[in-house]
Structure 1
């Protein structure tokens, strides 16, 4: 997996998720919601992440969000 994360960003907890009662999965990046998975996608995600280690779980969440960062996000500093 080292060739996937060359900048070691997945060592930090940049992605988190929350499973809702209606079987949706909300995925957050740096505390901001970036995607919602429902139906078969949420079931597949939950089964993959259930036994994953920390860094592997971060990679699963990164892949589930897709390519949401394009470089035009505002930096709220």
Structure 2
């Protein structure tokens, strides 16, 4: 399994299917699929996270400290 859970497959039709922990996260077609394939070689996990919208936004610590998440 990939380090961060992302993987991708290229379908015979040219579509790119990105999965996260084995579940389909998104499907890219046409020009977007070509752009993704050109970019994915540098940092595959980071690129797939960005393309699926599943990446850290910098607010995780703030949310963890919110009173409703304190278990009280």
TM-score, normalised to structure 2's length? 0.66
Gapped regions of structure 1 (runs ≥ 5):
1-10, 68-77
Task: Provide Cα deviations, 1:10-39, integer angstroms capped at 9, x if missing partner.
Answer: x82410000011110000000111100001
| Equivalence for 1:39 | 30
Task: Provide Cα deviations, 1:28-76, integer angstroms capped at 9, x if missing partner.
Answer: 0001111000011000001111x32xxx210000011114xxxxxxxxx
User: Is 1:59 matched up with 2:27?
Assistant: no
Task: Provide the rounded CA distance (Å) in 1 between the counterparts of 2:36 and 2:5.
Answer: 17
| Equivalence for 1:12 | 3
Root-mean-square deviation (Å): 2.0
Alignment coverage as a number of residue pairs: 54
Gapped regions of structure 2 (runs ≥ 5):
55-72
Higher helix share: 2
Structure with larger Rg: 2
Superposition misfits of 4+ residues, deviation over 2 angstroms: none
